[in-house]
A and B are shown apart, each in its own frame.
Chain A
């Protein structure tokens, strides 16, 4: 495949970025999207040019590091996959591919396609955990958990925190991410002890960091590579109301 790439290049967080166009020839349709970028970077290095900086780690869709906005969609044109799981067979020979970094005020661009997503870490630090005293491990079956709730909690816990929900949302809202993290604990008895404080503190931090407000377009759900459901947002709203009113 021959491709034309339009890639956002930005030297550092303070510089003004711009799109740079590159031509790539003889790319295999079986190549992954990130491998295609690796090939581009090899060519740039050979020409003594700066390679394109982009986040990646596991390259098998579980770490949540890749964060590319490809032709108007986070993680590209395939559904329920991360950019590292996207293959070039999803594109056509001669296609122009525009690659942008996630765009949101709390996700500043560090360089090229790499953004700082530590805003998510700050939200997690506010309550995305269960406090457990050290000591001998308790018998797991002492606390009974319903099958349905354990499945829902596991579905919520599948969130890898990639930020595609924020990137897809027209408001750059982080509601799907925060609600998944709130839900995975709220659904389990171990998480209910700190549930009220958790939801209040995590929502407060989300607001302080400058994420937008949810307007129920459900773009987040549509673009989530882990298919996190919007029902988590409703659950977080319920949790929040109960925590505030009761």
Chain B
């Protein structure tokens, strides 16, 4: 690897975006697995155990650093690339573009922005409490936040639950475009396999957000 690898060209930035995006998609499955524990009627035993494991395991903590770095770099690169893209066309067309393109593919920065807003809210509701940056009454005597109680209280709020559902629908559209785009950016475009990649991306973009959406539905209508 020579030193010029670190001089970021447009393609290098995009390759990092793609790698990190795929990494974040793996993390999302792990997060879904933990969240689905909320559906068990066990007083939060599984969910608390999973949250405790994620919060205390050293290997997970190492991955956590990579995860935060991944989020930050993915977001920063997305913003940098978008600003460059806006600068590349200082004078806009009078008639907006009528070219047929994949659904919402032109609006990745906006769907990504919505996900980012939710991410900030999510951090305030959970992670910042753990760090002690945000005060919450649901913290045990030994300083351990009771995430199960906090999650229950949030999902019992219809406004939060509806916003949560809307967010994951938007995330689904973001992921549907992002998955196949990431492989294209990484140079994987094959007459046979690209169709499989696109179908898997669509499958993931439906199933994973749906898994998250089930939880507020359960708390609002079933429980």
Instruction: Please list the residues of chain A having a beta carbon within 8 angstroms of any beta carbon in chain B.
Output: 6, 8, 19, 69, 71-73, 98, 100, 103-106, 168, 170-173, 200, 203-204, 206-207, 210-219, 222-223, 230-231, 233-238, 240-241, 244-245
Given contacts A19-B94, A171-B88, A212-B85, contact A237 B13 (CB under 8 A): no
Q: Is B56 an interface residue (CB 8 A)?
A: no
Instruction: Please list the residues of chain B having a beta carbon within 8 angstroms of any beta carbon in chain A.
Output: 1-2, 4-5, 9-15, 81, 84-85, 87-102, 105-106, 108, 177, 180-181, 184-189
Given contacts A103-B92, A217-B101, contact A212 B84 (CB under 8 A): yes
Q: How far is the CA of A200 from the CA of B9 in the complex (A)?
A: 9
Across the interface, which residues of B come within 8 angstroms of A204, CB to CB?
9
Q: How far is the CA of A30 from the CA of B108 in the complex (A)?
A: 41
Interface SS of chain A: helix, strand, loop or mixed?
mixed
Q: How far is the CA of A168 from the CA of B12 in the complex (A)?
A: 23
Given contacts A71-B95, A218-B101, A245-B5, contact A210 B87 (CB under 8 A): yes
Contact B102 A217 (CB under 8 A): yes
Contact A231 B189 (CB under 8 A): yes
Q: Chain A: which residue is nearest B88 at the CB level?
A: A212
B1 touches which one: A8, A100, A200, A245 (CB < 8 A)? A245
User: Which 4 pairs between the two chains have the least Cβ-Cβ distance?
Assistant: A238-B187, A234-B189, A212-B88, A171-B85
Q: Chain A: which residue is nearest B181 at the CB level?
A: A216
Q: How far is the CA of A120 from the CA of B186 in the complex (A)?
A: 25
Interface centre among A98, A217, A219 (most CB of B within 10 A): A217
Across the interface, which residues of B come within 8 angstroms of A106, CB to CB?
88
Contact A235 B95 (CB under 8 A): no
Contact B15 A237 (CB under 8 A): yes
Across the interface, which residues of B come within 8 angstroms of A240, CB to CB?
9, 11-12
Q: How far is the CA of A172 from the CA of B13 in the complex (A)?
A: 17
Across the interface, which residues of B come within 8 angstroms of A6, CB to CB?
94
Interface centre among B84, B88, B189 (most CB of A within 10 A): B88
Contact A72 B97 (CB under 8 A): yes
Interface centre among A106, A173, A200, A244 (most CB of B within 10 A): A244
Contact A217 B11 (CB under 8 A): no
Contact A203 B99 (CB under 8 A): no
Contact B93 A215 (CB under 8 A): no
* Known interface pairs A100-B95, A216-B180; 15 further A-B residue pairs with C-beta atoms within 8 A, sorted by A's residue number: A72-B99, A104-B89, A170-B85, A172-B88, A207-B10, A214-B185, A216-B185, A218-B102, A222-B99, A222-B101, A230-B184, A231-B189, A237-B187, A240-B11, A244-B4
**26 A-B pairs in the complex with CB atoms less than 8 angstroms apart:** A71-B95, A98-B95, A105-B87, A105-B88, A106-B88, A168-B97, A172-B88, A172-B89, A207-B9, A212-B88, A213-B81, A214-B185, A215-B81, A216-B185, A219-B97, A222-B101, A234-B185, A234-B187, A234-B189, A237-B185, A237-B186, A241-B15, A241-B187, A244-B2, A244-B4, A244-B12
Q: How far is the CA of A238 from the CA of B91 in the complex (A)?
A: 32
Interface centre among B13, B81, B90, B99 (most CB of A within 10 A): B99
A203 touches which one: B2, B9, B187 (CB < 8 A)? B9
A213 touches which one: B4, B85, B91, B188 (CB < 8 A)? B85
Q: Chain B: which residue is nearest A74 at the CB level?
A: B99
Across the interface, which residues of A come within 8 angstroms of B184, CB to CB?
216, 230, 233-234, 237
Q: How far is the CA of A219 from the CA of B89 in the complex (A)?
A: 15
A215 touches which one: B2, B108, B186, B188 (CB < 8 A)? B108
Chain A proximity of B91: nearest CB distance (Å): 5
Across the interface, which residues of A come within 8 angstroms of B187, CB to CB?
234-235, 237-238, 241
